[in-house]
C-alpha cells in the first residue's frame, strides 16, 4: 500500500503531465484558422446546390489533415467533446453555428440567394476562430495552466 509521500508524488506527476499537455496545446493562430475555415466551408457548402455532397469530401479531408497536424504537433488529437468545461464551449459553439448553417441552407436552396450564404460563412468563420481560441484557453486552464 502506498504511503502519503508516494501518493503525493503520483499526484505531482499528474499535475506536471497536465501542465506539459497544456503547454503543448498552445495552438498557433493558423490552427484556429484551419478549424474556422472548415466551419466556414461547411456553412458555404449549400451554395453547391444539388452537388453539396461533393463539397463534403474536401471538408472531411481538411478535418483529417487537421487531426494529422495535431497528432504530429502534440503526439495526439484532443477531442473537442472531451469531458469538462471545454464541452460547454463546444456545445456553445455548436449552438451558434448550427442555426447559421441551417439559415445558409434555407437561403441557398429555398430562397435561391447566394450572397447571404457568403456572409453567413464569413460569420461562421469568425465565430469558429473565436470559439477555437476560447476552447484552447479553457482547456489550458483545466490542465492547470493560466490561459
- Helix ranges (H only) for the chain are 4-24, 29-44, 52-74, 85-109, 115-142
Cell of 15: 499535475
Query: Domain range holding 20?
Result: 4-142
- Which pLDDT score, from 0 to 100, does residue 23 have? 64
28 domain residue, yes or no: yes
Q: Please give the C-alpha separations between residue 27 and each of 2, 5, 70, 77, 117, in angstroms, as whole numbers.
A: 38, 35, 9, 12, 29
Burial class for 60, CB neighbours closer than 10 Å (0-12, 13-18, 19+)? exposed
Dihedral of the CA atoms 54, 56, 59, 64 (nearest 10)?
-110
Instruction: Give the C-alpha separation, 60 to 65, whole Å.
Output: 9
Burial environment of residue 19 by CB neighbours within 10 A (0 to 12, 13 to 18, 19 or more): middle
Neighbours of 2 (CB within 10 A): 9
Task: Give domain status of residue 147, yes or no.
Answer: no
Supply the pLDDT for residue 133. 97
pLDDT tens track of the chain, all 147 residues?
A: 678 888 787 777 777 776 666 666 788 999 999 999 999 999 999 999 999 999 999 999 999 999 999 999 888 888 888 889 999 999 999 999 999 999 999 999 999 999 999 999 999 999 999 999 999 999 988 888 765
Q: Residue 67: inside a domain, yes or no?
A: yes
In a domain, 78, yes or no: yes
Tally of domains within the chain: 1
**pTM (2 decimals)?**
0.87
Residue 122 lies in a domain: yes
Tell whether 50 is covered by a domain: yes
- Is 8 within a domain? yes
Contact partners, residue 133, CB within 8 Å, separation at least 6: 32
pLDDT for 33 equals: 98
Amino acid at each position: 500500500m502506498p504511503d502519503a509521500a508516494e501518493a503525493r508524488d503520483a499526484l505531482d506527476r499528474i499535475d506536471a503531465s497536465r501542465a506539459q499537455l497544456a503547454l503543448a496545446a498552445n495552438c498557433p493562430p493558423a490552427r484556429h484558422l484551419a478549424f474556422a475555415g472548415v466551419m466556414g466551408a461547411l456553412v458555404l457548402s449549400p451554395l453547391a446546390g444539388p452537388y453539396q455532397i461533393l463539397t463534403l469530401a474536401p471538408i472531411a479531408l481538411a478535418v483529417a489533415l487537421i487531426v494529422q497536424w495535431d497528432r504530429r504537433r502534440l503526439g495526439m488529437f484532443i477531442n473537442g467533446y472531451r469531458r469538462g468545461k471545454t464541452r460547454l464551449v463546444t456545445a456553445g459553439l455548436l449552438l451558434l453555428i448550427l442555426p447559421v448553417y441551417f439559415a445558409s441552407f434555407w437561403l441557398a436552396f429555398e430562397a435561391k440567394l447566394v450572397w447571404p450564404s457568403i456572409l453567413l460563412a464569413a460569420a461562421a468563420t469568425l465565430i469558429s476562430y473565436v470559439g477555437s481560441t476560447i476552447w484552447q484557453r479553457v482547456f489550458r486552464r483545466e490542465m492547470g495552466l493560466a490561459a
